[in-house]
């Protein structure tokens, strides 16, 4: 079994270790144009300096109406691409691979973030700058404003937008793209039987519900043959009648056939559910995907190096951390030291601290 401090190669991209930073929305684009700011340069610069093998930047919308909030970053314009470039270059200078999460929030778009000028909860009203949301099926997800159902043609436009976002990401120098298929956002709204009630080719059985996600993966693969692709899934809805770990393993196998290289196993986000939150509470979902011979990463309350190593020992390829890395951007270096492994991931400027 590899150590979490060992490198890993995905489609020709070598990552210096298996301790990765999961995407985290910063809701910090005050200009509302999706263009990353000084905050993003400093925040991602610190994370890239902390030793991670793979930093994936926050859910970045492939179309303006796919933003969770007006303050989200985007990858639908060339101006956004150009503003991501220095962030990418700095990560490379620090030895970190860097990816971007391509996202469309669907019925969970046009919401109020927890802080800033739109602070609040629930939907941002159209009168306040919000917009009509779209989904696989019409109605309200999680008590938010009613979405309208996309036509098949409109859904295919979404596929094109994901591809355009991926191509822009490649042009910005990103090493990898991640397709956001989790947390109750648009692609999950298509995947889950709890929400997708369509009777056309984009609904019905698991095969039909997975069509849109797989078309996104296939189309990105066709446009970018050498670009590593991660798919993030909510690998269970934690609800009777919803997606199960077995469904997630099946979707992962199909995604791999469509050109994906690794699946990250998150969970939930579409309906309110009793989630047994605790240390490593989603790791079994990644194990289930890895057992289906699809490279997988685990995420969710992985907070010590020992715990991370035990998860990799169980057959999962890598771990991703989110909140613990906000508290300590240098967590990968700290974990390596705690495990007694000498690493050269710290910036030379910080050598005297070690």
x/- mask, ligand FMN, residues 195-214, rule CB under 6 A, reads --------------------
Beta strands in 237-314 (DSSP E): 262-266, 296-299
Rounded Cα distance between 191 and 185, Å, is 10
In this structure, the strands spanning 8-10 and 148-149 are unpaired
In this structure, the strands spanning 262-266 and 296-299 are parallel
Tell me the number of residues near ligand FMN by CB under 6 A: 20
Q: Which of 19, 59, 158, 333 binds ligand FMN (CB under 6 A)?
A: 59
Place of tokens 């859910």: 59
- The contacts of residue 257 (CB under 8 Å, 6+ apart) are none
Kindly state the smallest distance separating residue 264's Cβ from ligand FMN, in Å: 8
Q: For the residues of 306-326, what is the DSSP string, one character each?
A: HHHHHHHHTT-SEEEESHHHH
Tokens of 205: 């059985």
Contact status: 58 vs ligand FMN (CB under 6 A): yes
Which of residues 123 and 234 has its CB atom nearest to ligand FMN in the complex? 234
Q: Which of 3, 6, 24, 287 binds ligand FMN (CB under 6 A)?
A: 24
Contact status: 25 vs ligand FMN (CB under 6 A): yes
Kindly state the smallest distance separating residue 15's Cβ from ligand FMN, in Å: 17
Q: Which of 176, 182, 249, 260 binds ligand FMN (CB under 6 A)?
A: 182
Kindly state the smallest distance separating residue 325's Cβ from ligand FMN, in Å: 7
Which of residues 208 and 271 has its CB atom nearest to ligand FMN in the complex? 271
Rounded Cα distance between 299 and 124, Å, is 30
Place of tokens 């590593």: 228
Mind telling me the catalytic residues?
Answer: 185
Kindly state the smallest distance separating residue 282's Cβ from ligand FMN, in Å: 8
In this structure, the strands spanning 176-181 and 262-266 are unpaired
x/- mask, ligand FMN, residues 60-99, rule CB under 6 A, reads ----------------------------------------
Burial, 14: exposed, middle or buried (Cβ in 10 Å; 0-12, 13-18, 19+)?
exposed
Which of residues 43 and 198 has its CB atom nearest to ligand FMN in the complex? 43
- 242 to 281, contacts with ligand FMN by CB under 6 A? 266
Sign of the Cα torsion 347, 351, 352, 354 reads: positive
Contact status: 23 vs ligand FMN (CB under 6 A): yes
CB 6 within 8 A of CB 304: no
Kindly state the smallest distance separating residue 101's Cβ from ligand FMN, in Å: 5
- Contact stretch for ligand FMN (CB under 6 A) within 76-84, 178-186, 246-254, 285-293: 178-186
CA-closest candidate to residue 224, choices 270, 262, 174: 174
What pairs with residue 61 in β-bridges?
A: 74, 103
Tokens of 157: 């436009």
Which of residues 23 and 242 has its CB atom nearest to ligand FMN in the complex? 23
Kindly state the smallest distance separating residue 204's Cβ from ligand FMN, in Å: 26
- 92 to 121, contacts with ligand FMN by CB under 6 A? 101
Contact status: 232 vs ligand FMN (CB under 6 A): yes
x/- mask, ligand FMN, residues 315-344, rule CB under 6 A, reads ------xxxx--------------------
Taking the CA atoms of residue 130, residue 136, residue 137 and residue 142 in that order, the dihedral angle to the nearest 10 degrees is -60
CA-closest candidate to residue 136, choices 77, 243, 65, 210: 210
The footprint of ligand FMN (CB under 6 A) covers 22-25, 58-59, 101, 180, 182-183, 232, 266, 299-302, 321-324
């Amino acid at each position: 079994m590899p150590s979490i401090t060992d490198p890993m190669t995905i489609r020709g991209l070598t990552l210096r270790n298996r301790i990765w930073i999961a995407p985290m929305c910063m809701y910090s684009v005050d200009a509302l144009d999706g263009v990353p700011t000084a905050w993003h340069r400093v925040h991602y610069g610190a994370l890239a300096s902390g030793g991670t093998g793979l930093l994936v930047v926050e859910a970045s919308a492939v179309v303006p109406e796919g933003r969770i909030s007006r303050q989200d970053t985007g990858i639908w314009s060339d101006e956004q691409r150009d503003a991501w470039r220095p962030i990418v270059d700095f990560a490379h200078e620090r030895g970190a691979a860097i990816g971007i999460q391509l996202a469309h929030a669907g019925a969970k778009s046009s919401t109020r973030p927890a802080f800033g000028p739109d602070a609040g909860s629930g939907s941002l009203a159209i009168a306040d700058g919000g917009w009509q949301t779209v989904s696989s099926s019409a109605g309200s997800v999680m008590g938010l404003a009613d979405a309208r159902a996309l036509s098949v043609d409109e859904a295919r436009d979404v596929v094109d937008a994901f591809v355009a976002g991926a191509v822009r990401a490649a042009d910005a120098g990103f090493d990898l793209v991640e397709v956001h298929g989790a947390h109750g956002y648009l692609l999950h709204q298509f995947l889950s039987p709890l929400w997708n009630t369509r009777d056309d080719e984009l609904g019905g059985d698991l095969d039909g519900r997975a069509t849109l996600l797989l078309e996104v993966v296939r189309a990105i693969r066709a446009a970018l043959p050498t670009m590593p692709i991660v798919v993030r899934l909510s690998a269970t809805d934690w609800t009777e009648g919803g997606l199960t770990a077995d469904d997630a393993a099946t979707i992962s196998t199909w995604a791999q056939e469509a050109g994906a290289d690794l699946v990250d196993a998150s969970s939930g986000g579409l309906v309110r559910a009793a989630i047994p939150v605790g240390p490593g509470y989603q790791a079994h979902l990644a194990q289930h995907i890895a057992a289906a011979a699809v490279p997988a990463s685990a995420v969710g309350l992985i907070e010590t190096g020992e715990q991370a190593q035990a998860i990799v020992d169980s057959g999962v390829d890598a771990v991703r951390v989110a909140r613990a890395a906000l508290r300590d951007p240098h967590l990968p270096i700290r974990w390596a030291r705690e495990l007694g492994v000498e690493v050269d991931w710290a910036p030379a400027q910080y050598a005297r601290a070690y």
